[in-house]
Amino acid sequence: MRNITAISTLLISLIHSTSVLAKEQWWSYLSGQENGPSSTRVDLGINKVAPLADFPFVLITGVKFDGKSSDGLPSQPQIDKLNTLQESLVKYVNSKLRAKYVGTFTYQSEQLHYIYVQNKIEAERVITEFYSESCKGCSTYTNVRHDPQWLGYKGFLYPSEQIFKYYGLSIE
């Protein structure tokens, strides 16, 4: 009986700590798309434990920015503004609900953040609150969809083998 209790305790603590095992490993890369370049910022570390069953919905949200450059990517002053907005958004969402921010995709004068959440309705409410308080007048985009396999992360944000090879990057 004692062994069963010890094994049960160990299993529960291992299951509970899976997200701790996923050490954040942020990386940014440029790639070519149909209508020009894109920039992706992604947490490579969470790939080791993704998908997380407790987070079956992906909140994809972001803003359009003034695209004065011909390539559709932001200028340095715009990058600073967008980074500040992204940090505020992630902090706000994390303060209101359990969420896993996994990355950002920037393309054609739009920046979209990918955040995995537990509840679609709550995520929609929280992001609406955020934009009404912190980004009045912004042209925003929000979509919350069921993504239990984390295809938005694994199949879109996470770099392909070709991109890893191009940048000479290897993941352990």
- The tens digit of pLDDT for each residue in 10-44 reads 333 333 334 445 799 999 999 999 888 999 999 99
Q: How far from 45 is each of 24, 26, 63, 97, 115, CA to CA, in Å? A: 5, 7, 26, 22, 15
Supply the pLDDT for residue 43: 98
Is 92 contained in some domain? yes
Is 4 contained in some domain? no
Q: Count up the domains in the chain and report the number.
A: 1
3-state SS assignment for residue 92: helix
Supply the pLDDT for residue 84: 94
| pTM, to two decimals | 0.85
Is 104 contained in some domain? yes
Supply the pLDDT for residue 19: 43
Is 7 contained in some domain? no
Is 61 contained in some domain? yes
Is 15 contained in some domain? no
Q: Which CATH number characterizes residue 137's domain?
A: 3.30.70.1710
